[in-house]
Amino acid sequence: MNLFEHVGKFSRFLLLVLSKPEKGKLFFSQIVKEIHKLGINSIGIVVIISLFMGAVISLQTAYNMLNPLLPDYLVGYTTRESMLLEFSSTIVGLILAGKVGSNIASEIGSMRVTEQIDALEIMGINSANHLILPKIVAAIFINPFLYVLSVFVGILGGLSAGYLTGTVPISEFIYGIQYGFIPYYITYSLIKTVVFAFIITAVPSYYGYYVKGGALEVGKASTKAVVNSSILILLANVILTQILLK
Amino acid sequence: MIRLENVNKSFGDLKVLNDISITFESGKTNLIIGQSGSGKTVLLKSIIGLHDVDNGAIFYNDRNFTELNHKGKKEIRKEMGMVFQGGALFDSLNVEENVRFPLDMFSTMSEKEKSKRVAFCLDRVNIQNANHLYPAEISGGMQKRVAIARAIALNPKYLFCDEPNSGLDPVTAIVIDNLIQEITKEFDMTTIINTHDMNSVMEIGEKILFISKGYKAWEGNKDQIFNTENQALNDFVFASDLFKNIKKST
């Protein structure tokens, strides 16, 4: 199947997904379940990675500032900008594409090969809408919170690393994270996070939903889902950066 | 009652169903039999609308299913219950939630009424003390019975079963067959069962459609099957020595 066929099929798939849910009450209870599954269960990995990445950014910046004219607060400034602009939105997005994306593709794919999706269709239920829309809505809702958490934990990691290794005084670091702050960067990153949340859920769902065969094909669909959603995140990152920061 | 008129279905150049016409009556267990690859699963999936037929018509009582729009088909689907080969129970829901699911989606019952209905359906298929178990925690036979309970939760007019006793031991298979037959009579449903299990044919075959290479090769019931002159059907039914000996003795 070539790229254009995929785009056409994906568009048709989205039309199915983005229709009105059958039962509002059931839809909202599914969203709550998905928020727990896709968001709350990802807090651990987001915290760990953000903490260590913040620490590494802080130390790398400190050890590369050989010029004595460069102030210490630049370490805090660099850590904040890195976390805010790129790491907490894009890198966390890529990590979640691996964790959440493979989970969604294998879950939906298994439902397809074990005829659970057919069972929904026979009942007269729009299976794509019933299974996938709650995941997309849940990720779009919870991922901005994960982004904010990642920024805070990353900066905390940078601060802790600078203090524990004696490379940056706490007061300088705190001055740095307040220096030249542009609030629009948060809006920019939140917009990216929402777009990435859509990609992370919709693309793996598409691969899982149309899987044919058995366990082997579910595995292949899961791999394709992770690879292609990662590529789409990187592509969307470039496009959104050009549009939003021009 | 479900009536098929000259149903044809192809996949690319491969013609799978050729001019199939038959009437499946209500209150009877209607069986579709045939060798693997003969087209019986495609026929069942065409009847329930998972495949669109190339031409021909499928009537649910007087409603032409093939000519209905999406909304019309959806209404008929609410009158269908389906038991899949593997059960197709939802992995993320426990036994009780699986049976309750169609009620949550389509009924206007109160929570109390739903619980009562779930209890009735599970009791009807002889499932006790398993409400909170998940599909992975119960046996294949129990999964099939829960699938039947889910299928009858909304009092369907039409029940479809795809190989309902595949992978089950002979005793459990007969229990499932008899259960389907009892429920069919009790609720006066039009039941269509896709099978290649000869025990089922002899046990509950009130109306049998034999498909060979995509064609309707024979139509009758379990009593007539013994005296048929149809060579393809004889080769299929009396393939084992056991059935050959039974035929000789009768």
Cβ-Cβ contacts under 8 Å, A110 against chain B? 91
Cβ <8 Å between A122 and B90: no
Would you state the pLDDT for residue B250? Answer: 66
Q: Identify the pLDDT of residue A120.
A: 92
pLDDT of A46: 95
Give the pLDDT score at B96.
95
CB contact under 8 A, A116 and B78: no
Q: pLDDT per residue over B189-218, tens digit each?
A: 999 999 888 888 888 889 999 999 899 999
| pLDDT above 70 as % of chain B | 98
B72 near A CB under 8 A: no
Q: Which of B50, B75, B78 sits opposite A121 (nearest CB)?
A: B50
CB A176 within 8 A of CB A80: yes
pLDDT in tens, chain A (246 residues): 788 899 999 999 999 999 999 888 889 999 999 999 999 999 999 999 999 999 999 999 999 887 888 899 999 999 999 999 999 999 999 999 999 999 999 999 999 999 999 999 888 889 999 999 999 999 999 999 999 999 999 999 999 999 999 999 999 999 999 999 999 999 999 999 999 999 999 999 999 999 999 999 999 999 999 999 999 999 999 999 999 998
3-state helix, strand, coil in chain B (%, to 5): 40, 25, 30
Residues of A in contact with B90 (CB under 8 A): 111, 116, 119
- Choose the most confident range, by mean pLDDT, from A132-136, B117-121, B232-236: A132-136
The closest CB to that of B77, out of A23, A110, A123, belongs to A123
Please compute the mean of the pLDDT values over residues B142-170 and round it to a whole number: 88
A-B contacts at Cβ under 8 angstroms: 48
Q: Distance (Å, rounded) from C-alpha B70 to C-alpha B52?
A: 12
> What whole-number distance in Å separates Cα of residue B78 and Cα of residue B84?
16
Residue from B14, B80, B145 nearest A124 by CA: B80
| HSE-CB for B179 with a 13 A CA cutoff | 27
Residues facing B11 on adjacent strands: B14
Give dist(CA A159, CA A51) in Å, integer. 10
Q: d(Cα B112, Cα B103) in Å, to the nearest integer? A: 12
* 8 Å CB contact of A123 and B90: no
**Measured between CB atoms, does B74 come within 8 Å of chain A?**
yes
Chain A environment of B50 (Cβ under 8 Å): 118, 121-122
Mean pLDDT of chain B: 88
B140 touches chain A (CB under 8 A): no
Crossing angle of helices A127-165 and A170-178, in 10° steps, is 140
What is the per-residue pLDDT for B169? Answer: 81
**pLDDT of amino acid A76:** 95
- Rounded to two decimals, the pTM is 0.86
The verdict on B111 touching A (C-beta cutoff 8 Å) is no
CA distance A227 to A210: 17
Range B1-79+160-169+189-250 classified under CATH 3.40.50.300: yes
Nearest CA in chain A to B161: A119
Say if residues B31 and B205 touch (Cβ distance below 8 Å).
yes
Q: Does B176 touch chain A (CB under 8 A)?
A: no
β-strand partners of B14: B11
- In sequence order, the β-bridge partners of residue A22 are none
Spell out which residues of chain B touch residue A29, defining contact as CB-CB under 8 Å.
none
Nearest to A115 among B73, B75, B84 (CB): B84
Going from N- to C-terminal start, the domains of chain B cover: 1-79+160-169+189-250
Task: Flag if B88 and A123 touch (Cβ within 8 Å).
Answer: no
pLDDT tens-digit profile of B26-70? 989 999 998 888 888 899 999 998 889 999 999 999 899 999 988
Beta strand B158-162 pairing with B190-195: parallel
Helix (H, G, I), strand (E, B) or coil at A179: coil
Q: Which residue, chain included where needed, has tokens 């267990």?
A: B29
Residues B228, B165, B45, B101, CA torsion sign: positive
- Per-residue confidence (pLDDT) for residue A233, from 0 to 100: 97
Q: Which amino acid is at B54?
A: D
Domains of chain A by residue range: 29-245
- Residue in chain B closest to A118 (alpha carbons) equals B50
